Amino acid sequence: IGEHGKNPESGLEIYSMKIDCKVTSRFAHNMVISRVVNRANESKEAFFEIELPKTAFITNFSMTLDGVTYVGAVKEKEVAQQQYQKAVSRGQTAGLVKASGRKMEKFKVSVNIGPTKKVTFELTYEELLKRHLGKYEIQIRVKPKQLVKHFQIDVHIFEPQGIAFLDFDAKFLPNNLTSIVKKTLTATRGHVSFKPTLEQQRKCPDCDETVLDGDFIIKYDVNRDLSAGTVQIVNGYFVHHFAPANLTRIPKNVIFVIDHSGSMSGTKMRQTNEALLKILDDMNTKDYFAIIIFDDTSETWKNSIFQATPNNVAEAKVFVRTISARGGTDINAPMLKAVRLLDKSHQDKLLPERSVSMIILLTDGDPNSGESNPTKIQENVKSAINGRYNVYCLGFGYDVKYSFLEKMSLDNDGVARRIYEDSDAPLQLQGFYDEVANPLLLDIELHYPENAISELTQANFRQYYDGSEIVVAGKISDDDLKSLIAEVFAQTANENLTLKAEVQVSEVENITQQQLYIFGDFTERLWAYLTIQQLLEKRVSAETNEKKNLTDRILELSLKYSFVTPLTSMVVTKPEENKNDSFVADKPSEDEKVPIQQRQYSYPGHAYSKRPSFTYVDSD
């Protein structure tokens, strides 16, 4: 690699790479632009490889070759699949997006560039940042393959609610280089910029290796208080963010249902015990807990539920240390046992009147003992719980049938989470527990004027946990609406709470005019993103007829807003020698048993003018 980052051996030079992220009201619009020139005397294959968050939807991809831009089109997956099949039949590999580790997906395309020619790759993706343990995170994975003459990351954040703090984390940077990251923060705007020179990118003065290899993470939070939150209105769509502060936590009753079957033996069992010990230590003394362990049989620690007093916690820890792995996996019986235990404890008035009851299941495998039909187990658990308790399922490792756990959680107002087999597994378990550790509100209902709005996203929530955020969006159907009233009804630990926000449509639109410099239609796109995400979740536990309707609606929105979702694919067509060659992108499914190391995907190199290329992006 020469002075300007040119690699004389490959002949390819990335002379510019720009990552531009614009966030307005938590909705992030990201563009990655990379420019490559072939300085060799022959055609070369240039790869464009980007990792993006799994929660993001790709919205656009384009390549500009010889001054001609080839733009991606989002199509129904089946349509794209036909092209995919054609490509496969030609002996090519397709599928451009692959899961990469825990949080990221890898998008990869390649194209042949003629001698002295240039190519510009441009990828756009969008994402609604989720508040997690009191902050939003923008994760940008930085990994250029060579030194880049013009490398730049620019993150602009605009939060009308006010930015409480803005930090960045770039562990790959040596200490002496962290100062090149520039951060500016005003009341409502934040800007983080990273623009290392070629010299600053070098690992050592005379070598060509780059230090740019790692995650560039931006963390921030907005100002919040105990109010109905903030409502933004732009171009006829509104979004309401609600995350009240200064509330007292509500006690919770947790039944830990822990798999200690034979497959858990070794590291997984040790890590589970370690995490449980820490979780027990962190329990609030007002909480109640019980532990059920299962293999092909199940056992409840001391056959009851206990308040998390120091004595009870100490005794439970002694028990946890004795849990060892053995036997098969019967998930049905311990789950039903957990429900019965909660039922009885409520009936006997052992638990606080206003409290959250939840079951946290941790398992590493499919049920293979007792009732082993996953559908039957899901039905049994749903019917026993009957909407009263939350179920959170933690799938440990890669042998779990994640879709089974996901449906069981979603059926019972919970979520499923994959716990990756790694040295930090105990931290992952604790991290999940921390998310649900502090319920602040129960039965939250957000109301808006019925006749004035339509297409509302989910507006009723069983709980609100400290550190998270409730987001509701909708369309204003009354063109003459002067003010929008949002009312929140909820229960706190002791009282009934009502919060009200009234926003003047004209005033809010005036304020949002200021943010048009970011992107004007963000509220509508945010609404579409949120609607699709929620419909996808709903689809997991829907019956056949409803599933069909949900699928149609997701597809309609994905196509309309050009989102690469599990139901759509993006096809980039590149005319070549009078043929239409396509690239297609898909989104990988969480249920794919993807090892932590990303699968290696190779796209065979081919002569520039002879073989058609085909690429493909989409999302599961």
Partner 1 sequence: PHFVISINDHSDAICFNIDGKPGAILNLVTDPYTDFVVNGELIGEKKIEINKKINTYFGKFGIVNNKMDVKVEVSTKTITVFHGEDKIVFPWSATASLTKESFSISIIKERNLTLTMGDDATFVIVLHRVWKNHPLHRDFLGFYTLDSHRFSSMTHGLLGQFYHEISAEIYNIHPGLDEGKSDATMIVKGHKLRVTRGYQKDYRFDPKRGTNVPCWFVHYNGKGFIDGSPTDYVVSSLF
DSSP string across 566-603:
TTEEEEEEEEETTEEEEEEEE---TTS---SSPPP---
Query: Which of these, 220, 492, 232, lies nearest to 354 by C-alpha position?
Result: 492
> Does 243 contact partner 1 by CB under 8 A?
no
As a whole number of angstroms, the distance between CA 609 and CA 31 comes to 29
Q: From the CB of 440, what's the least distance to partner 1, in Å?
A: 10
Question: Encoding tokens for residue 242?
Answer: 């609600």
Compute the residue count for the chain.
620
The reply to whether 247 sits near partner 1 by the rule CB under 8 A is: yes
Q: What is the rounded CA–CA span in Å between residue 5 and residue 15?
A: 7
Among 197, 235, 285, 494, binds partner 1 (CB under 8 A): 494
Interface stretch with partner 1, choices 33-41, 245-253, 381-389, 471-479 (CB under 8 A): 245-253
Say which amino acid occupies 225: D
225 near partner 1, rule: CB under 8 A = yes
Least distance (Å) between residue 145 CB and partner 1: 51
Among 481, 501, 542, 559, binds partner 1 (CB under 8 A): 501
C-alpha 226/C-alpha 135 separation (Å) is: 17
- Give the CA angle between residues 166, 167, 171 to the nearest 5°: 165
Q: How far is the CB of 312 from partner 1 (least distance, A)?
A: 20
| Residue bearing tokens 């509302």 | 456
E strand or H helix that includes residue 82: helix 77-89
Tokens at 298, concatenated: 């199940």
Window contacting partner 1 (CB under 8 A); options: 196-204, 395-403, 487-495, 608-616? 487-495
The count of residues interacting with partner 1 (CB under 8 A) is 19
Please pick, from the candidates 499, 511, 542, 559, the single residue that binds partner 1 as defined by CB under 8 A.
499
Determine, following the binding rule CB under 8 A, whether residue 245 of this chain makes contact with partner 1. yes
Q: Which stretch binds partner 1 (CB under 8 A): 97-105, 403-411, 500-508, 520-528?
A: 500-508
Q: Does 500 bind partner 1 (CB under 8 A)?
A: yes
Select from 71, 133, 187, 226 the one that contacts partner 1 (CB under 8 A): 226
> In the bound complex, what is the minimum distance in angstroms from residue 335's beta carbon to partner 1?
33
Residue 242 C-beta: closest distance to partner 1, Å:
11
Q: What is the number of alpha carbons within 13 Å of residue 423 lying toward its C-beta?
A: 0
Which tokens sit at 135? 């902050």
**Of 248 and 311, which CB lies nearer to partner 1 in the complex structure?**
248
Q: How many CA atoms lie within 13 A of 489 on its CB side?
A: 4
Task: Provide, rounded to whole angstroms, the least separation between the CB of residue 484 and partner 1.
Answer: 14
Q: Does 304 bind partner 1 (CB under 8 A)?
A: no
Which listed residue (50, 148, 228, 471) binds partner 1 by CB under 8 A?
228
Using CB under 8 A, pick the residue from 41, 175, 176, 246 that binds partner 1: 246
Residue (226 or 607) nearer to partner 1, CB? 226
- Identify whether the C-beta of residue 44 lies closer than 8 Å to the C-beta of residue 112: yes
As measured in angstroms, the least distance from the Cβ of 245 to partner 1 is: 8
227 binds partner 1 (CB under 8 A): yes
Phi-psi region of 437 (alpha: psi -120 to 50; beta: other; left: phi over 0): alpha
Give min distance, CB of 486 to partner 1, in A.
10
State how far the Cα of 463 lies from the Cα of 570, in Å rounded to an integer: 37
Q: C-alpha 210: how far from its chain's center?
A: 29
Euclidean distance between CA atoms 283 and 356, whole angstroms: 14
Q: Which residues bind partner 1 (CB under 8 A)?
A: 225-228, 245-248, 492-502
